[in-house]
Structure 1
Amino acid sequence: MVTGALHLPDTSPGPQDTPLAPSPDDRALAQDSARLVYRQTSAALMGHFLGFVVTTLVYWEHVPRPWLWAWSAAFALLWVARFVNLLSYERAVRQGPIDAQRWLRSWNTGALIGASLWSVAAVLFYHHGGHFERTALMLTVYSFAIGAVPYMSSQPRLFLACMGLYFIPMIVHTALLGGADNVYLAGIWSLMCLCTLAMGRAFHNMFGEMVSLRLHTQQLAQRLRTEMAAAESAQHQAELANRAKTQFFAAASHDLRQPLHALGLFAEALRQRCKDDEVAHLVHSINSSVDALEGLFSELLDITKIDTGGIDIQPEHIPLRGLFERLRLTFEPTAFEKGLSLRFHGARHHVYADPLVVERILRNLISNAIRYTEDGGVLVSCRPRGDHLCLQVWDSGLGILPKEQERIFEEFYQTQSKRPLEPHHRKGLGLGLAIVKRLAKLMDAPLTLRSRVGHGTVFTVLLPVGKAVRAPVADTPPRARTPLTLDRRHIVVVEDEPAVAEGLEILLKGWGATVSAFDTLDAVAAWAAHTQVPPDLLIADYRLPEQRTGIEVIHLMRAHFGAALPVIMVTGSTMSGHETEARSEDFHLLLKPVIPTRLRALIAFKLGQR
């Protein structure tokens, strides 16, 4: 019936030559056909009931009563059966998947019997009564034929059979009555039949396209579900790989920092014992290399912590004066060594941001500026811009080519210049600016740069204006610093790495301290149980054998010698958030490799505090 459209299976009742299993497309078509016909059944039953009432009332006085009662009884039985069938179908759908073919056969049987009853009415009732009764009968039968087009056209054989039952008996019976009027009326019925068949073909094509589109949509949806499952699996694998990378960096950091830490301690002990200038210069070079490696580790771990969400932004009101002073103390010697000036302007301002993140951003920018500046200097400034403050780092260095100004924020990328780079320019992994960009993004702080090759660069971070905090009570003016001496100071060292423990012991003894070194928690406990005099300081590694930690050592020592015992915790791991533990347990944290000068300064601070 349809050329070029989707093939629709024949679901009308009849013998099957070969009982083949239905294909997925056939099952989908059967599901659609069953849903279509049963969705229209309630309206169709109502229409048939009204047609039955009209026909019975019109022919009540014209058709012999036995015929009329027999036809009415048959119609009533069929109507009740089809209504029960509709209720059963709806209950079956609510209970779960259905056999659409079986329900279609049941519905088609009822439809064929209903069309047959109206065909019988056309043959038996037509020659009874006058023009009004015939017209009413013809309009009733035609209305059912037209009404069946939308939902029967999905099943071609059923549609043709029902249309034949509606039209052919009426056409033949009218023509056989004879007379010009009846022949003319039979011709009109034939045209109406052809029009109805054409409408059925149009609906059949539309239904085929609808089912084809639905099947295509289902295929696309299934493909989308498959691709989404694959994407979710890939995302899960990527997350596992990311966690594995994080764990690798944490383990590698801890394991690689241990020998570096020991190397720095041995080098400093060697420098103290040897007065030869050349050896002192070599020791200085060793310490510089250790410091450089520590910087590389910090950059790699910063990137890892940012990517894994290990940094929580905790904004507060920051006075820039203290921040600028810390940065000055850190970078002024380096700038002085290169013959550069390092200036700070705008220290009176306050910003509202995370102090650690802001300091890390400025440290990376200042370090980068000093590295790539040979003449002139570096300026760190802060000035207002509306409701925000511009925190800027200016330099008079090499400058950045316009085509590279976007790429310099990428990982492992280092700027190229028309001038050849010196070895200290190539120092590092090219992660400093990548870290700056990611940290600025974490704070929602816009980061921009302007640069001219050969004239310098300025980086700008836009931060919210902060409020002035109450100034702390001024302390007693500091006394003049004297070289650190640990004479008559007793320091307990808990370190399971033999090389690190040995280097730390040699260094502390070189500063005049008495050292008690242990490698396990049990050894510390045994010593503390037989010692009455408290030590002056505890230096403990975080990770100890047998899954013990330095926190347990702190608890043990303070339980024996009092809660005021000063503690320095040393660790090679930067991925576990030890800062929170440091605040809660009241100790200071040093990351391996520890630069000896930092260790001396912190020891002096802890002993002075006590």
Structure 2
Amino acid sequence: MVSADQARHLQRSDPLYTLGNAVAAVMTMLTLRDTAPRPWLLAWLMLMLLATAGHGWMAWRQRGPIDAPAQHLRHATRMSALNGVLWAAGVLLVFPGADYAHRALLMVLLSGLATGAMFALAVHLPALCALYLPVVASVVAAALGNGGPARWPVAMLTLVWLALALVSARQLQATLIGSFRNRHSAAVLAADLQVQKDVAVALGQSRSRFLAAASHDLRQPVHALSLFVSALQQRPPEHEALRLLGHVRNTVDGMGAMF
């Protein structure tokens, strides 16, 4: 049940996440075009756009109800891994030839991409890790291989960021899954309440039918008793008997008024 909710969440997040990924790739190409050979950058951008378009096309084909949630989650993880590898290739392509300003700009772009990915993919941590790990590994490798004085701080800060991001993603996933479970519990409770309401209505109808039948069954002997009293009152009884018959008549009339 939870896996189906996870798959639906990924499905709803796909369009915006796919668009954001394409925009980030284009911005990276435009802002860092002088940090690497132009043909390589164009080839990388084409691969990114092709992968993004392919993911969007498959997401469009799979729109609607999800019949196999586990398969959908595995597909999301594979696509995230492909996306992560492509972004890692982009980092290794532009990082070595970039100055500190362009590297900082690259880190800002990657941070924005990672933030958007967290909200889209945190519901299924394997998909998020499949994106994060290649990118972080490429940043650390590029920083350490650069040989500059800031290589260790950059590498360490990147790893610290990864740890904090995964902790935040885990908390976000717990919140989302908790909301899914609460929604299912509320639905089950509502169904139980509806069943109990139906039972109560059925019992009320049965009681009404029973009282109607009992009233009919009791009305007949009371009516017969009233006829007997009327017949006795028409005969010339003694004074004491007449008084008692009057009491009986009052009692019969009172019982008849109850029906």
TM-score by length of 2: 0.86
- Relative to 1, partners in 2 of residues 1:193 and 1:149: Cα closer, same or farther, differing over 3 Å? farther
Cα distance, 1:104 vs structure 2: 1.9
Letter matched to residue 243 of structure 1 = R
Structure 2 residue aligned with 1:425: none
Query: Which amino acid is the alignment partner of residue 71 of structure 2?
Result: R
- In structure 1, the partner of 2:97 is 128
Name 1:292's counterpart in structure 2.
251
Q: Find 1:219's aligned residue among 182, 185, 209.
A: 185
Report how many aligned residue pairs link the two structures: 259
What is the rounded CA distance, in whole Å, between the counterparts of 2:90 and 2:132 in structure 1? 15
Pair 1:114–1:230, CA change in 2 (3 A): same
Question: Counterpart of 2:154 in structure 1: which amino acid?
Answer: I
Match status 1:197 vs 2:155: no
Matched, 1:158 2:127: yes
Query: In 1, Cα distance between the equivalents of 2:165 and 2:37?
Result: 37
Aligned pairs for 1:537-552 within 5 A: none
User: Does structure 2 retain, via aligned residues, the 8 Å contact 1:34–1:100?
Assistant: yes
Quote the Cα distance in structure 2 between the aligned partners of 1:140 and 1:117: 15
Aligned ranges for residues 59-458 of structure 1 at < 5 Å? 59-90=32-63, 92-93=64-65, 98-181=67-150, 183=151, 186-265=152-231, 267-271=232-236, 279-298=238-257, 300-301=258-259
Cα deviation, 1:445-482, whole Å, max 9, x if unaligned, reads xxxxxxxxxxxxxxxxxxxxxxxxxxxxxxxxxxxxxx
Measured at CA, do residues 209 and 172 of structure 1 come closer, stay the same or move farther in structure 2, by a change above 3 Å? same
1:118/1:283 Cα in 2 relative to 1: closer, same or farther (>3 Å)? same
- Seen in structure 2, the aligned counterparts of structure 1 residues 157 and 86 have a Cα distance that, compared at 3 Å, is closer
- Give structure 1 stretches of 5+ with no counterpart: 1-26, 302-610
Q: What is the alpha-carbon root mean square deviation over aligned residues?
A: 2.5
Structure with greater proportional helix content: 2
Cα 1:212/1:56, change in 2 over 3 Å: closer
1:183-219: CA deviation from partner (whole Å, max 9, x where unpaired): 2xx4234323323432331332243144235424422
Q: Which amino acid aligns with 1:169?
A: S
Q: Deviations over 1:488-536 (max 9, x none)?
A: xxxxxxxxxxxxxxxxxxxxxxxxxxxxxxxxxxxxxxxxxxxxxxxxx
Preserved CA contact (<8 Å) 2:7 2:73:
yes
SS in 2 for 1:180: coil
Of residues 3, 6, 10, the one that matches 1:37 is: 10
The amino acid that maps onto 2:213 is Q
Partners in 2 of 1:197 and 1:37 — Cα distance?
23
**Secondary structure of 1:154 counterpart:** coil
Q: Residue 153 and residue 217 in structure 1: after superposition, are their counterparts in 2 closer, same or farther (change >3 A)?
A: closer
C-alpha deviation, 1:120, in angstroms: 0.5
CA–CA distance in 1 between the matches of 2:137 and 2:14? 24
3-state SS in 1 of match to 2:173: helix
Contact 1:145 1:196 in 2 (8 A): no
Take 2:167 and 2:122, find their aligned partners in 1: how far apart are those partners?
Answer: 7
2: CA distance, partners of 1:62 / 1:216: 50
Q: Retained in 1: the 8 A contact 2:80–2:128?
A: no
Q: Residues 373-427 of structure 1, C-alpha deviation per residue, up to 9 Å, x if partnerless?
A: xxxxxxxxxxxxxxxxxxxxxxxxxxxxxxxxxxxxxxxxxxxxxxxxxxxxxxx
User: 2: CA distance between counterparts of 1:293 and 1:84?
Assistant: 85
Offset of 1:220 from its aligned partner?
A: 4.3
Q: Deviations over 1:529-553 (max 9, x none)?
A: xxxxxxxxxxxxxxxxxxxxxxxxx
Among 28, 51, 55, the alignment partner of 1:55 is: 28
In structure 2, what residue type is equivalent to 1:105?
A: R
Q: Which has the larger radius of gyration?
A: 1
Contiguous gaps of at least 5 residues in structure 2: none
Is the 2:55–2:79 Cα contact (8 Å) retained in structure 1? yes
Normalising by structure 1, what TM-score?
A: 0.39
Deviations 1:121-145 (A, max 9, x none): 1112222354444333333223222
Structure 1 residues 234, 58: closer, same or farther in 2, change over 3 A? Answer: closer
Over 3 Å counting, the alpha-carbon distance change for 1:270 and 1:146 in structure 2 is closer
Shift of the alpha carbon at 1:178?
1.3
Of structures 1 and 2, the one with the larger relative CO (CA 8 A, separation 6+) is 2
Distance in 1 between the 2:176 and 2:29 partners?
39
Greater strand share, structure number: 1
